[in-house]
Amino acid sequence: MGARVMPIWLHDDTEEDLVGADWHQEAICGTVDSLRDIAETADLAWHVGNQLTLIAWRPDGREWRPLPDVMVHPEAGPARRKEMRALDDGVPALVVEVLSETTWRYDRDTVGGKAFGYMQLGVPEILLFDPTEEYLEHQCVGWRRGDQGYQAWRPDAAGRFQSMSLGVAFAAEGILLRVYDTEGQPIPFRGERARMLAEERRGQAEQMRTLAERDAEIVRLRAEVRRLAGNKEES
């Protein structure tokens, strides 16, 4: 028989656990920004945490302080927070962990790791995202809590992971996790918003140039009419 693989027992996250490659941080920030955009646009009371401490508990009752990459408390409000307390704020409705070289084993461990910890807390939806497609059998893997306990969270026919808790959806898109709003519309990433804004400004500038040219042509034509009228009177 092979050696028994021991579970990775719950530990508190540290600053070392937050260190990641550019794509790891970009994936986290892209997801957080998109969720905050949805909340602000729809005037929702979501608190979207970006690697924010969650003060919770282990199965034996001892304190556990994970730092989920992304977590959403639907009723906690958008005010800036130092930490979230599960006893006061409730457990998050959704947790997203973006896997990295140093954390992926712990993040996906359902026996004694982070996934197990979220499950024993009763987090309704847990989603793991693998930006580089190195650590999961699929780029997104998740679990949902139901009447029969936790079951695999499956994507829909469009490849999106529909959140029952928040009414939004997620889908891998390269090294980023695309978020779709409650109407199924994709939320632009920051770079896309910047390009859209730049294009809008170019369009406005072109419109202003067109209007200026039209006004100049009107002035020229009026001047020509006056000149011709003057010539007629002289003759």
Q: pLDDT value at position 22? A: 84
Residue 47 included in any domain: yes
Residue 165 included in any domain: yes
Mean pLDDT by groups of 10 residues along the chain of 235 residues = 58 68 90 97 97 95 96 96 96 97 93 96 98 94 95 96 97 96 93 64 68 76 76 66
Residue 46 included in any domain: yes
Residue 158 included in any domain: yes
**Number of domains forming the structure of the chain:** 1
Q: pLDDT value at position 149? A: 94
Q: pLDDT value at position 1? A: 43
Residue 204 included in any domain: no
Residue 168 tokens, joined: 């939004």
Torsions phi, psi for 26 (to 5 deg): -65, -40
CATH number of the CATH domain containing 49:
3.90.1570
Residue 50 included in any domain: yes
Give the C-alpha separation, 97 to 25, whole Å. Answer: 11
Residue written as token pair 């889908």: 171
Residue written as token pair 């519309």: 185
Domain that holds residue 90: 15-187
Q: pLDDT value at position 159? A: 95
